[in-house]
Amino acid sequence: MKKKYMKLLIVALASSFCVVIVFPKLKDVEHGQKDLARIPSVPASTPRKLTTVVISTIKKKTNSAPLNELPPLTISQTFRKDIPKNGAYWNRKLHSLLRQFDSIDNQTDKDPRDKFHCQPESFELLKTNIQDIQSYPPLYGDFLRGMECRDPPLLIDQPKKCASDQIFLLFAIKSIPKHFERRQAVRETWGREGLYENGLRVRTVFLLGRSSADDPSLDKLVSFEAQQFQDLLIWDFQDSFYNLTLKEHVFFKWMLDNCPRVSFVFKGDDDVFANTQAILKHLQSLEPEQATALYTGQVISDASPLRDPKIKYYVPQSFYEGPYPPYAGGGGFLFSGSLLPSLYHVSFYIPFFPIDDVYNGMCFKAIGITAMKHDGFKTFDIREQDRENPCVHKDLLLVHQRNPQQTMRLWRNMHSAMLTC
């Protein structure tokens, strides 16, 4: 490898990205990718959530293939009844969209984006509908103003990711720009692409937004990483906790455009440890009816919003009121690729929610799919004394959380010829 590129990899592998370095000018990335540094940055005073509006002068990427035809959509009565009608803003917004859905011809196979446009909510509108909005955390304001903006430009694409043969399993890993070390650990262990036993083809993509205005720019590094590994998908929105739901939505769209025939999808965080062989074995054991309606993981049932503003998962009572539907923990879960068209379609009629795994549970429930518990998913981890024991992990599908060093060590020990369990 050329010396001038070695410096980039060394910096990317380091835990800190605060080293000042002169970057060589990179050529445009292959397969339609762009050097992120060429895209004008959004002023710090502008809410990054609204990037789709601010950079509207940038030419959007045109996909090589049109969106697959979407099947007629039915929104389950169970879901409608489970979300109570009350004065909370999100509840009112949902039932308004459901009335809109019921009043139109939903038998169309056209892209539902034709009916929805990015119209950032004004503060006056929000203040009128949420009387205590001034008590909301600042990031909630950005989230609320951008709830209708669902189609940010795709800056770096991987259009050939599923071009060859049938993909049995796609690992879709949520990450952020500065987590190179985590991504590399995944690439070298459980997320390794290739042909597995019985000819099962596995592919991996990492889902990213852009760094916030307060973080050092890593655009050159992630551009180079995308060129080297061909597995980064990067959209032009701020990569933050409240934008994870937007990341789910644009991923559904990307899948329909680029991987419409994938059999199964694993969605997870970049700090989980997944047991690829155990996952493939489980998926092959499914009956046909199970394989086409799969949504499984560690299921959280009977959950309700947390009202403490100091908690990461805080949801104000004036924003949402009622229980959550059962949902698979967002650390990692599996679902059938055949459900993607319906998930994408229904996501236009369910307002974005600030907690992505709850939102996923809503979307699956809305299309009539029940979350199925699997004891092999441990999104809240296992006993501390078992966390370094490879034999304990042999029959598990996922554990959360593991740092890159733990992931490398655990994978190596699990696949050692000397291991006896």
Q: What is the DSSP string of 92-129?
A: HHHHHHHHHHHHS-TT--S-GGGG----PPPHHHHHHH
Tokens coding 260: 């419409």
**pLDDT given at position 17:** 40
Query: How many angstroms separate the CA atoms of 155 and 58, rounded?
Result: 10
Checking if the pLDDT of 161 tops 70, the result is: yes
Tokens coding 368: 């009539």
- Under a CB-based contact definition with an 8 Å cutoff, are residues 191 and 171 in contact? yes
pTM reported for the whole predicted model: 0.84
Q: Identify the DSSP state of 397.
A: S
Query: How many angstroms separate the CA atoms of 375 and 358, rounded?
Result: 20
Query: Looking at the domain assignment, is residue 220 inside a domain?
Result: yes
Query: How many domains is the chain built from?
Result: 1
Query: Looking at the domain assignment, is residue 273 inside a domain?
Result: yes
Checking if the pLDDT of 182 tops 50, the result is: yes
Query: Looking at the domain assignment, is residue 41 inside a domain?
Result: no
Exposed/middle/buried for residue 375 (C-beta within 10 Å: 0-12, 13-18, 19+): exposed
Query: How many angstroms separate the CA atoms of 364 and 375, rounded?
Result: 20
Query: Looking at the domain assignment, is residue 382 inside a domain?
Result: no
Mean pLDDT of 394-411: 96
- Under a CB-based contact definition with an 8 Å cutoff, are residues 205 and 232 in contact? yes
Strand 232-238 versus strand 200-210 pairing type: parallel
Checking if the pLDDT of 94 tops 70, the result is: yes
> In 241-355, which residue ranges form alpha helices assigned H by DSSP?
244-258, 276-284, 288-291, 340-346
Query: How many angstroms separate the CA atoms of 32 and 162, rounded?
Result: 15
Query: How many angstroms separate the CA atoms of 83 and 62, rounded?
Result: 37
Exposed/middle/buried for residue 352 (C-beta within 10 Å: 0-12, 13-18, 19+): buried
Query: Looking at the domain assignment, is residue 377 inside a domain?
Result: no
Query: Looking at the domain assignment, is residue 414 inside a domain?
Result: no
**pLDDT given at position 236:** 95
Collapsing DSSP states into helix, strand and coil, what is residue 349?
A: coil
Per-residue pLDDT tens for 242-268? 999 999 999 999 999 999 999 999 999
Residue that wins the pLDDT comparison between 72 and 20: 72
- The whole domain housing 195 covers 3-35+48-372
Checking if the pLDDT of 10 tops 70, the result is: no
Where b means 16+ CB within 10 Å and e means fewer, 248-274 reads: bbbbbbbbbbbbbebbbbbbbbbbbbb
**pLDDT given at position 110:** 61
Residue that wins the pLDDT comparison between 303 and 65: 303
Query: Looking at the domain assignment, is residue 217 inside a domain?
Result: yes
Tokens coding 254: 């990307």
What's the whole-number average pLDDT of the chain? 84
Residue 173's H or E segment, with its range, is strand 169-174
Query: Looking at the domain assignment, is residue 412 inside a domain?
Result: no
Residue given tokens 């990067």 in the structure block: 234
CA 69 from chain center: how many Å?
23
Size of the chain, expressed as the number of residues it contains: 421
